[in-house]
Structure 1
Amino acid sequence: MTTLDTAGGTTTVSLHGEIDVLTVEQVRVALGEAVAGRPGQIVVNMADVAFIDSTGLGALISGFQRARDQEIPFVLARPSDNVRQILVLSGLLEVVQVTP
């Protein structure tokens, strides 16, 4: 499940539960809407994500690339330790900013 909130030039995409092949389309749509809104920054709140698989990582990478192409800062916020480990192993944290 995903929710979008725009305030003060920042669009926050909050992700919840498991991000996998069954839910990834919601993530793709939400990130696409966030980029299309051309905010000053996109923050992806991952505090409530219990698990992310390769399709979910692909959606985050795609969202990051689209934001980068539009020169919109893209930040991953508050991933759990388990999710952070997957992000580290994927190499995504080498290119995307993460806040604790």
Structure 2
Amino acid sequence: MPDEFVTSLDRSGETATVALRGEVDVLTVDQVRAALSDALATRPREIVVDLSDLVFIDSTGLGALIFGFQRARDSGVRFRLSGATAPVKQILMLSGLLEVVELTP
């Protein structure tokens, strides 16, 4: 059984990093939306969503990432994903999300 789902927000300079750990699904998606909203509220130039400890994301989680991307874009804030594991990266690719959101190693 995976560890409990955890989000964390770290602000360093002009970048707000939201780290996701565990699984993002219908039970945890509200935490992701809240973390992304909190990150945007810090008025960064960039939001980075760290996926290196994320083991699973479903369609509701993808929707939360799109929500964050759209809110950031509307505020003139760069939004990118980083560190996706191979299984999570495959889900992101299949969803088409990587056609609009940058993924960095």
TM-score range for the pair, normalised by the shorter chain length: over 0.9
- For 2:16 and 2:103, the matched residues in 1 are separated by 16
Q: CA deviation at 1:8?
A: 1.1
1:31 to 26, 31, 36: 36
In the comparison of the two structures, how many residue pairs are matched? 100
Cα deviations by residue, 1:26-74 (Å, 9 ceiling, x for unpaired): 1000001111221011000000000000000000000000000001000
The yes-or-no answer on 1:18 pairing with 2:28 is: no
Structure 2 counterpart SS, 1:5 = strand
- Structure 1: which amino acid aligns with 2:79? F
State percent identity of aligned pairs. 62
Q: CA deviation at 1:12?
A: 0.3
The TM-score, its normalising length taken from structure 2, stands at 0.93
1:91 to 83, 86, 96: 96
- For 2:57 and 2:27, the matched residues in 1 are separated by 11
Give unpaired runs (5+ residues) of structure 1.
none
Cα deviations by residue, 1:68-94 (Å, 9 ceiling, x for unpaired): 000100010000000000000110000
2:87 to 82, 90, 93: 82
Q: Which runs of 4+ in 1 moved over 6 A?
A: none
